[in-house]
Structure 1
Amino acid sequence: MVRAFEMEETMGTSVLRKLRASSLLVLGAMLAVLFVETSPAGAYNTQLKDWQDKYGPGTATDSSSGDTAQCQLCHRDTNGGDPWNAYGWDLREARFLEECDLDQDGFDPNSWDECFRCVEPWDSDSATGVHPNDVEIAASTQPGWTDGNNNLVFFKSGALDVDQPPPVGLEPYDPDGTGGTGGTGGMGGMGGMGGMGGTGGDDVLPPGQYKRTTQVVRPGQSIQDALDRAKEGARIYVLAGVYMEQGNATNGLNITKNGIQLIGQSRSNKDKDKDKDKDKDKTRDVIIKKANGQRNGVAIVPPMVTDCMSCHSSMELPFPLLPGIEPGLPDPEPLVYDIVVKNIEIEGFRNGLFTERVDGFLFDNVTSTDNSGYGIFPTLSYNGVISNSVATGSHDSGIWIETSENVVASNNFVEGNVNGFEVSNSDNILLIDNEARGNTVGAAILLLPDIFDDRPGATNIDLINNWFYDNNKENTAPGGILSEIPPGIGIFVLGTDDGLIEGNLIEDNDYVGIAITDYCAVTSLTSFPCGEDPPTQNPAFLLDQSSRNNRVVGNVLVNNATDPPALPFGLLAAEFTLGTLPVDWLPFPPDLYPLFPPEDFTPYHGNCFENNQSSPAPGVLEFFSLYDFTVYQNGGPPPPWDLPACPAP
């Protein structure tokens, strides 16, 4: 069987390339420093000459550091290039720091002379925090190297090698033979003649990192302390281990500053084969676990909303407010910008990774494990990418994109959740090359009345080249309308408009392969019917409750709807289900009917199907239409009914 993300040749590569390119451009500026190409060798010679002209023999500093080290003044290797030592990396980052624009002529990028001067007070090699770079240079020692296996090596890819030895032959590395830092909770490093030992038994960052834009956190230290010390734009590397942050009663970690990059450093690559032994040594990864009843693992939010429970009595839909708290958003604009979280596992919270009002984010290789509510959960956020991530064991949604815009979710795996993926009240969302298995619903694409005031509408939500299979898990949602949705659904579209479902493989889901339904038509089968459930009494929501103009193109459906639930839900079982009705067939308030758009009075609301392949099991409908069934009940033609075709472009 060909997997969905291996079907590109059959579905139009130009469409995919266009979608990928346009969607991923949103982070281009943010990630420019991460992915800048290595400069040619001649450029390093020029930079070294500039450095020697400033500090070398014959200058006021009269340092031989550059003559001794040559390219290894800043790089690990004798010919320069990727990777860098800590001093070279600090210079590299200083190129794009506004605070290093010393002549105030614009900082894109800063001159090398500005960078040299800017990092002089920093302690790049963090020997003990007592020798800033200018002191090391004046002593003709190495600002980027310290003695012993105590060095950091930085790669352009974002990787980091720790506890590295310095290159041979560059001695002296430190003024007065100063040794390196001691291990966390251990004894300090041994000083040389007249030198000082490292910091022993200290659970905070070395003092030399206070002014750096790159920090390294080791097991036993606090990630939150590093975040609190960090300036905007800082990169924080976290070494493999289990971290339980005690400082906040609500959130394990709070990220409230712009430009933060939180990057875990695993000791080995993650096992991407979901069927292999899941009891591997998890201490080889960075794992954040709940401490003291915390609700959120990582909260990326403006500073004023770090304590959710100061406003809400519960973090379950509809997020009820405490008495005296006014509804609505005091400021709807994004307040945190350009965040990166990579190579982190979040385990055992109510919610795993949560954002509010963030513009520009990359969550890559993030794992959410047994976070009971939601796994990865951006809200009211814009221009983001969720990639190469895993979400398992949530009683609501594994990856939930809510009230957001311009977000790409690619190459993710979700399993064992109620909703594998959920997108609600959001615009311009792309789910591409993902895998969902063993959930109650593979992907739920929703317009929800509870959050309609925060963000009305849900449009242009595209699902391309994904694989949805075996989504038959028991529904374990704790309450509300979600708890009444039967298991066994591949893709469920409820009340959203103008989406594209293309090139997906959908198989072995017991109830429905792809379902597109109006909100009010289907929720009439639940305990939360329109008009009785208070959030659905909003006239603006009722006018938008129809699913309109969604295109289902070039998908492969196999062996779905073979074990449907009991009636009344079981009535809708099929490979393809279209639960739409003309709005004048439904009991809306009379004054609303003139306000509905014309397509809402048609049977299918412009939803259409083209070039799909389906292989229904014996006795299973290929297509169920609520409209055609209603007509049939009143003497119309019986099934099989024809899928509504898409109009010519």
Structure 2
Amino acid sequence: MRTRKLCCLTVVTAAAVALELAALPRAQATGTVASGGPEPLHVVRPGQSIQTAVELARPGDTIELLPGVYRENIQITTSRLTIRGAGSRTVLRPAKKASSNACGKAGHGLCVTGTAQQPVTNVRIQSLTVSGFPKNGIWATHTDRLRVRRVTAADNGQQGIGQEMSIRGVFVRNVLRGNRESGIHLVNTNAHEAGAIDTRGAEVAGNRLSGNGLGVVIRRLRNLTVEQNTVLGNCGGLFVIGDENRPRAGDLTLRHNAVLENNRLCPANERLPAIQGAGIVITGSEGSRVTGNQVFNNRGSSPMSGGVVLFNSFVGVPNTKNEISANVLNGNGPVDLADRDRGPKNTFTDNVCGTSVPAGRC
């Protein structure tokens, strides 16, 4: 009798296991496991393909990357995905032969790509390193609410993290170092002339940017905040770039950043003059606020050198209606505060500095 009970129990247990396996997320096909939480969890180990997990994932899924080096290019076109690594122990690097997807063909490391008609929404990328790609470490196009957090983007050929034609992005607590052009580069579009995009409250906050060409570049955008970043040892620190297109670039807030010793030399190229010792540079902006920043020891002899510099846009459009207030500037050269384009209705109040052009701006 006892033997029969054990036999029957074994049959019932096997049937229960079969039913449980049938109910697991389809991510199990790649050897991943369910989290037991509210969303399926795809676990990827070194030697496995991140891209395969991305293609199997559905909106709401999380892809967890275990510690190790992954050599591939990742293309994300699905909304509401989370890519989560193990901090500095999870590293994405180029393969000997780039992936055949669009991201690999472009030379980027990890891409999030939507369309004007159907943006990719609510993708989260966090806690990994993206390093050594010929173009951009992370590049996003047509996204809404992209969040990049605790990512290190280092030694990439153009931008560490870049985004275009996107809104409501959040970039917080990242480390950007040694990227050839800029650490963080947010733009309406690099492909053609267009007016500024209203980002609807995008945020760049709490990042550390060092040894890049430029620290943060905001080009042809509106309604965005750059705050509490440490920008150290680049050719230039924070750059706001506008031009004659409408809507005008502007309505930006740059506040409580530490912009220090950005004294590397970036030689002139076909788009920019030589840049060295440029702290915060505002060109062609309308109605932006630069307030409460600490800007120390940015020194050089290029046209945009100095602590906080208002400069004509590269097509000659002046800054207008910008507010420069309550900044502390010291040791910048040739001056701490420079109003070099004399655009209309810019105001300078309560700044603590030693030198300005014209005199009296401190």
Report the counterpart of residue 51 of structure 2 in structure 1: 224
Q: Once the two structures are aligned, what percentage of the paired residues are identical?
A: 24
- Give per-residue Cα distances to partners, 1:147-200, cap 9 Å, x unaligned: xxxxxxxxxxxxxxxxxxxxxxxxxxxxxxxxxxxxxxxxxxxxxxxxxxxxxx
Query: 1:367–1:608: structure 2 CA closer, same or farther, 3 Å change rule?
Result: same
User: How far did 1:265 drift?
Assistant: 2.1
Report the counterpart of residue 308 of structure 2 in structure 1: 514
Task: Output the CA distance in 1 between the equivalents of 2:252 and 2:356.
Answer: 22
Q: State yes or no: 1:553 paired with 2:325.
A: yes
Report the counterpart of residue 438 of structure 1 in structure 2: 233
- Give per-residue Cα distances to partners, 1:576-597, cap 9 Å, x unaligned: 111224xxxxxxxxxxxxxxxx
Task: Output the CA distance in 1 between the equivalents of 2:257 and 2:225.
Answer: 11
Task: Output the CA distance in 2 between the equivalents of 1:353 and 1:448.
Answer: 26
Alignment of 1:557-576 (within 5 A): 557-561=329-333, 573-576=334-337
- Give per-residue Cα distances to partners, 1:539-594, cap 9 Å, x unaligned: xxx7xx22111111111001110xxxxxxxxxxx321111224xxxxxxxxxxxxx
Query: Is the Cα–Cα contact under 8 Å of residues 556 and 612 in structure 1 kept in the other structure?
Result: yes
Which of 220, 237, 241 matches 2:64?
Answer: 237
Q: State yes or no: 1:297 paired with 2:86.
A: no
| Paired amino acid for 1:475 | C
Report the counterpart of residue 481 of structure 1 in structure 2: 271
User: How far did 1:481 drift?
Assistant: 2.4
Taking structure 2 as the reference length, the TM-score comes to 0.82
Taking structure 1 as the reference length, the TM-score comes to 0.47
Query: Is the Cα–Cα contact under 8 Å of residues 420 and 443 in structure 1 kept in the other structure?
Result: yes
Report the counterpart of residue 610 of structure 1 in structure 2: 349
Which of 14, 20, 23 matches 1:122?
Answer: 23
Query: Is the Cα–Cα contact under 8 Å of residues 121 and 145 in structure 2 kept in the other structure?
Result: yes
Task: Output the CA distance in 1 between the equivalents of 2:163 and 2:32.
Answer: 34
Which of 170, 173, 186 matches 1:388?
Answer: 173
Alignment of 1:85-100 (within 5 A): none
Report the counterpart of residue 642 of structure 1 in structure 2: 360
Alignment of 1:115-514 (within 5 A): 121-123=22-24, 205-206=30-31, 213-245=40-72, 252-266=73-87, 285-291=89-95, 292-293=97-98, 294=104, 295-302=107-114, 332-333=116-117, 335-349=119-133, 350-403=135-188, 405=199, 406-448=201-243, 456-476=247-267, 479-482=269-272, 484-510=273-299, 511-514=305-308
Alignment of 1:65-80 (within 5 A): none
Q: Report which of the two has the higher share of strand.
A: 2
Report the counterpart of residue 578 of structure 1 in structure 2: 339
Name which one, 1 or 2, has greater alpha-carbon Rg: 1
| Paired amino acid for 1:467 | A
Query: Which ranges in structure 1 are unaligned for 5 or more consecutive residues?
Result: 1-61, 64-116, 130-203, 246-251, 267-283, 303-330, 524-529, 531-541, 562-572, 582-603, 617-621, 626-640, 645-649
List structure 1 segments (4+ residues) > 2 angstroms apart after TM superposition. 119-124, 331-334, 479-482, 641-644
Task: Output the CA distance in 2 between the equivalents of 1:514 and 1:370.
Answer: 27
Q: Report which of the two has the higher share of helix.
A: 1
Query: Which ranges in structure 2 are unaligned for 5 or more consecutive residues?
Result: 1-11, 14-18, 99-103, 189-196, 300-304
User: Alignment partner of 1:613: what SS?
Assistant: coil
User: How far did 1:123 drift?
Assistant: 2.7
Task: Output the CA distance in 2 between the equivalents of 1:288 and 1:415.
Answer: 20
Task: Output the CA distance in 2 between the equivalents of 1:446 and 1:417.
Answer: 18
- Give per-residue Cα distances to partners, 1:573-624, cap 9 Å, x unaligned: 321111224xxxxxxxxxxxxxxxxxxxxxx41111111111x3xxxxx121
* Count of aligned pairs: 319
Task: Output the CA distance in 2 between the equivalents of 1:253 and 1:609.
Answer: 46
